[in-house]
Amino acid sequence: MKQSMTSLFRRPVGVILLGLALAIGALTGLELEARADSVSEQADQFLTLMNAGYQALYRVNSIAQWDASTDVKPEHDAARETAGRAYAAFNGNPAVITEARALLSQSSHLTDLQIRQLRQVLLNAAEGPMTNPDLVQRRIAVETAESSVLNGFQFKLEGSNVLANDLDRILVHSTDLGARKAAWDASKRTGPALKPGLVELQGLRNGVARELGHSNYFALQVAAYGMTDAEMVALNEGFLRDLRPLYLQLHTWAKYKLAERYHQPVPNRIPAHWINNRWSQEWGGLVEAASLDSYFTNRTPESITKTAEQFYVGLGFDKLPETFWARSDLFPAVPGSGRLKNSHASCWHIDLDHDIRSLMSVESNPWWFYTAHHELGHGYYFLAYTRPEVPPLLRIGANPAFHEGIGEQIALAAGQIPYLKSVGVLPAAYQEDRVATLLETALSHGIPFLFWASGTMTHWEYDLYAKDLASSDYNARWWKYVADYQGVEPPSGPGSRGEEFCDAATKTHIIDNPAYYYSYAIATVQKFQIHDYIARNILHQPPQSCNYSGNRDVGDFLRKFLSAGATKDWRVLLKEATGEDLSTRAMRDYFQPLTQWLEEQNKGRKIGWD
Ligand code: X8Z
Ligand code: ZN
């Protein structure tokens, strides 16, 4: 997802700036206090103003960021920076902070909805507190410059320009280890270009968070869950503890399989370029009997996004607004067009109303099929909570993991064989190999992903912000976690990725969506819980092989918690929806049939890497 903000230079410049000036002027006076005859009325007046200013500037900021991400050029970067400053000038205004704090100190006179909005005002302020304008402006400038480097990076392979999709294609299909290593190496070249900015951002982001009393930037992000940073790390470690036995079996099976594929001795840890993903975060494509590649070769990229929309429409959701199709940027930039765009998929709630857009580079293959369903999940969540009962300040997920989880869960459902047959992606005669499907699901969007997300990403970013990780240790720490949590090593062996590289910075989120990645881990756990509930209690079908297609009861069930946005506590929403607290129970149940099969396959093999 993209929480964002822009085009101050397009239409509404005068209106926005005038409104902004009036709003700030109004806040700095004490008129509010004089006029309001009760705390609650005072809060209502303040929140009316905040919601209006926030929504207007959110839109301005989003459009500037959208332009900068879809067409990288200096004038778009300049507009993004200016819009970012205007957004911070309003949301981080010291008068806003003082007023929100004063109101919250009298919370016994406030409603739950008012308290939630006021807390959100303070979280928004903490991203750009104008109690320290210099810090905020430097953060915005460095983030703009870093995104520009990342989004405009020209990958090269043997001297030729290539796109990220081209590198991914080699990692997915090539069996030539030399070509695989070249693609992997090429994908890591953004790291050194991004490292100096990341070093600056480490200090600037922590500085910004500390300005309003958060202990570090990681803690500020985790505050969206109502948790401390240490609690978040402990939650993620719990996931890893629960799933470690299954991961060790999968890791063992995978390394034997890969050694056979590449005619190599079986390694202890898996060399990163043997795996189909630049960061070894997903291990798809290892199970030939479950490969769906051939069923996508005759489809168009357009049909991929339309099929994804159809999934949601079948559950009773509206078609996407016409503006979604007119304004989104869904396909790779045309080679030679000179346009460079962000290659990472995202979905944007531009105006916190009905202007929703997705930025993707869709090609016709199973990975983009999955990702299109993921992105539209964000889009349908935006639309579900865009209603008068949910004020703009609370038009966000119940927590960030809810936002990631919905599309993840729909993508899980859209990958199930009975569904794929019912919509004609697979022929009616397709014979499912149940173990193969389950193994592919575990490898591609389940278990290794958690060891990357809860393990490597969460721990490295925790160290970066909460432990002020020294820049001389960035890469060593990165590969220590890759080795310890994922059981993966660099292509040229341990110790071959010195500090002249910065492999963490090659991951989009480290630059663009910092201290957020545990949200995907929680989303992964939660998607199995919600899917489990739907399969057992609404569809009465096995969770591993079911079909949501056309089921309005499933749509009604989802809409109930999606439409709440952040007006309710996420723990309450999850419990109300599934009857359970957050737990790996459903995930373990889902893959339970694999355990015995894996143990048989791995008989006599050394399990794990230590
Ligand atoms: O970043 C994403 C989405 C955008 S919200 C495509 N995902 C994570 C990643 O690519 O690393 C989806 C799953 C994990
Ligand atoms: Zn997402």
Q: How many angstroms separate the CA atoms of 247 and 240, rounded? A: 9
Give the mutation target among 371, 447, 458, 527 for probing the ligand 1 site: most ligand atoms within 8 A of CB. Answer: 371
Residue 161 pairs in a beta bridge with: 156
Residue 9: the pLDDT is: 29
Q: Residue with the nearest Cα to atom 6 of ligand 1? A: 345
- φ, ψ for residue 364 (rounded to 5)? -85, 95
Six token digits for residue 517: 């990645």
CA nearest neighbour of 172 among 278, 252, 255, 257: 278
CA nearest neighbour of 118 among 46, 61, 16: 46
Residue 338: the pLDDT is: 87
Q: Which ligand has the minimum distance to the alpha carbon of residue 508?
A: 1
How many angstroms does the Cα of residue 359 sit away from the middle of ligand 1? 12
How many angstroms does the Cα of residue 372 sit away from the middle of ligand 1? 11
CB-based burial label for 154 (10 Å; 0-12, 13-18, 19+): exposed
Give the mutation target among 380, 520, 524 for probing the ligand 1 site: most ligand atoms within 8 A of CB. Answer: 520
Which of the residue ranges 16-20, 327-331, 479-483 would you say has the lowest mean pLDDT? 16-20
How many angstroms does the Cα of residue 455 sit away from the middle of ligand 1? 16
Q: How many angstroms separate the CA atoms of 570 and 397, rounded? A: 9
Q: Looking at ligand 1, which atom is closest to the CA of residue 378?
A: 5
Alpha-carbon separation of residue 28 from 34, 133, 525 (angstroms) = 13, 17, 45
How many angstroms does the Cα of residue 39 sit away from the middle of ligand 2? 38
Report yes or no on whether pTM surpasses 0.75: yes
How many angstroms does the Cα of residue 88 sit away from the middle of ligand 1? 27
Q: Residue with the nearest Cα to atom 7 of ligand 1? A: 520
Q: Give residues (CB < 6 A) around ligand 1.
A: 1, 281, 345-346, 371, 374, 520
Tell whether the model's pLDDT for residue 17 goes beyond 50: no
| CA atoms in the 13 A half-sphere facing the CB of 542 | 12
361-374 mean pLDDT: 96
- φ, ψ for residue 123 (rounded to 5)? -65, -40
**SS3 of residue 99 by DSSP:** helix
Residue 2: the pLDDT is: 61
pLDDT digits (tens, 9 = 90+) for 499-516: 999 999 999 999 999 999
Six token digits for residue 586: 């459903």
Residue of higher predicted confidence among 337 and 602: 602
**SS3 of residue 271 by DSSP:** strand
Q: Residue with the nearest Cα to atom 5 of ligand 1? A: 1
How many angstroms does the Cα of residue 130 sit away from the middle of ligand 1? 31
589-608 mean pLDDT: 97
pLDDT digits (tens, 9 = 90+) for 535-567: 999 999 999 999 999 999 999 999 999 999 999
How many angstroms does the Cα of residue 308 sit away from the middle of ligand 2? 15
Cβ atoms within 10 Å, residue 523:
24
pLDDT digits (tens, 9 = 90+) for 194-221: 999 999 999 999 999 999 999 999 999 9
Average pLDDT of the chain is: 94
- Amino acid of residue 127: E
Q: Residue with the nearest Cα to atom 14 of ligand 1? A: 520
CB within 8 A of 364, min separation 6: which ones? 296, 297, 299, 300, 301, 303, 304
Residue 299: the pLDDT is: 94
pLDDT digits (tens, 9 = 90+) for 231-266: 999 999 999 999 999 999 999 999 999 999 999 999
Q: How many angstroms separate the CA atoms of 88 and 85, rounded? A: 5
Q: Looking at ligand 1, which atom is closest to the CA of residue 520?
A: 14
- Amino acid of residue 20: L
pLDDT digits (tens, 9 = 90+) for 89-146: 999 999 999 999 999 999 999 999 999 999 999 999 999 999 999 999 999 999 999 9
Q: Residue with the nearest Cα to atom 8 of ligand 1? A: 520
pLDDT digits (tens, 9 = 90+) for 165-196: 999 999 999 999 999 999 999 999 999 999 99
Residue 11: the pLDDT is: 34
Query: CA-based Rg of the chain, rounded to a whole angstrom?
Result: 24
CB within 8 A of 546, min separation 6: which ones? 413, 416, 418, 419, 535, 539
Q: Which ligand has the minimum distance to the alpha carbon of residue 448?
A: 1
Alpha-carbon separation of residue 351 from 4, 5, 78, 359, 383 (angstroms) = 10, 8, 21, 16, 11
469-474 mean pLDDT: 98
Six token digits for residue 431: 């014979």
pLDDT digits (tens, 9 = 90+) for 383-437: 999 999 999 999 999 999 999 999 999 999 999 999 999 989 999 999 999 999 9
Q: Residue with the nearest Cα to atom 1 of ligand 1? A: 345
Q: How many angstroms separate the CA atoms of 569 and 72, rounded? A: 38
Q: Which ligand has the minimum distance to the alpha carbon of residue 279?
A: 1
- φ, ψ for residue 372 (rounded to 5)? -60, -40
DSSP string, 47-98: HHHHHHHHHHHHHHHHHHHHHHHHS--HHHHHHHHHHHHHHHHHHT-HHHHH
How many angstroms does the Cα of residue 513 sit away from the middle of ligand 2? 11
